[in-house]
């Protein structure tokens, strides 16, 4: 009767390896928003990247959808301790938006429709680590989860994945965003449990 055991332990081990410290896995998809869900019609939607010298690169919805699209399957980790494994998204790699952007800046502030902001090092958005996503599980991303489009930066706590993303400002100095300025950790690596300032 040992035949069941190895498989079971194998699956338990797989979950343990995917779960950062202090997190628990969930099958549900909780909604966490600091304010009301903004209405963002795709007809007037724009996504912008603005450099530290003030040069703005802008994409309409149709221009964004005409860029190369990627599907990505990722584990996501919320600082409120839930983790969700194997979430499946579709969207555009941030590498694509930055292809023609000339910058010497090291940091970004990401802004959302509705006013939310979050900051991170530019390098954390590049090299296949971040996407602007518009589709979740083959369906258009729902407004509560950030539709029509949100950022997805799965290697950092999920508060860095700005919902209703509007634009990215490149900055020479690191400028704390909404949660970062009220005590959340500036970087937010779930594997180092960087929840609060000082962790
Ligand atoms: N614009 C915006 N983006 C946001 C937030 C928010 O309040 N506003 N909350 C953040 C937090 S704290 C988390 S955990 C995730 C939650 O995403 P979800 O509601 O799709 O689970 O979105 C992040 N992005
Ligand atoms: Mo969160």
Residue 76 has pLDDT above 60, yes or no: yes
Is the model's pLDDT at 35 over the cut of 80? yes
Shortest CA distance to 161 belongs to which of 130, 199, 127, 194? 130
Report the nearest-CA residue for atom 11 of ligand 1.
Answer: 159
141 Cα: distance to centroid of ligand 2 (angstroms): 18
Tell me which residue has tokens 């010298």: 53
Q: Is 31 in the pocket of ligand 1 (CB under 6 A)?
A: yes
Which ligand is nearest to the Cα of residue 32, counting in written order? 1
Q: Which domains, and CATH codes, for the chain?
A: 24-192 (3.90.420.10)
Which residue among 20, 23, 32 is best mutated to probe the pocket of ligand 1, counting the most ligand atoms within 8 A of its Cβ? Answer: 32
- Residue 158 Cβ inside 6 Å of ligand 1? The answer reads yes
pLDDT tens for 97-131 read 999 999 999 999 999 999 999 999 999 999 999 99
What percent of the chain lies above the pLDDT cut of 70?
A: 94
pLDDT at residue 13 tops 80: no
Task: Kindly state the DSSP code that residue 184 receives in the 8-state scheme.
Answer: B
Q: Is 81 in the pocket of ligand 1 (CB under 6 A)?
A: no
Sheet (strand 46-50) strand order: 56-60, 46-50, 165-171, 107-112, 117-121
Ligand 2 geometric centre to CA of 93 (Å) = 22
SS3 call for 79:
coil
For residues 97 and 110, give the distance between their C-alpha atoms in angstroms, rounded to a whole number.
Answer: 14
In this structure, which ligand is nearest to the CA of 160?
1
Q: Degrees (nearest 5) of the Cα angle 18, 22, 24?
A: 60
């Amino acid at each position: 009767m040992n035949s069941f055991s190895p498989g079971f332990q194998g699956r338990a081990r797989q979950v343990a390896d995917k779960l950062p410290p202090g997190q628990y896995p969930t099958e549900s998809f909780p909604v966490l928003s600091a304010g009301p869900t903004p209405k963002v019609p795709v007809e007037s939607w724009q996504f912008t990247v603005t450099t530290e010298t003030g040069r703005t690169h802008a994409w309409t919805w149709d221009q964004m959808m005409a860029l190369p699209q990627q599907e990505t399957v990722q584990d996501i980790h919320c600082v409120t301790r839930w983790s969700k494994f194997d979430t499946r998204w579709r969207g555009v790699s941030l590498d694509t938006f930055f292809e023609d952007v000339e910058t010497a800046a090291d940091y970004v502030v990401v802004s959302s429709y509705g006013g939310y902001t979050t900051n991170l090092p530019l390098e954390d958005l590049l090299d296949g680590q971040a996407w602007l996503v518009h589709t979740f599980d083959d369906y258009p991303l729902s407004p509560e989860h950030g539709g029509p489009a949100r950022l997805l930066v799965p290697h950092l706590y999920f508060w860095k994945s700005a919902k209703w993303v509007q634009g990215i400002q490149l900055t020479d100095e690191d400028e704390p965003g909404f949660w970062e300025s009220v005590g959340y950790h500036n970087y937010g690596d779930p594997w180092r449990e960087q929840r609060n300032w000082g962790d």
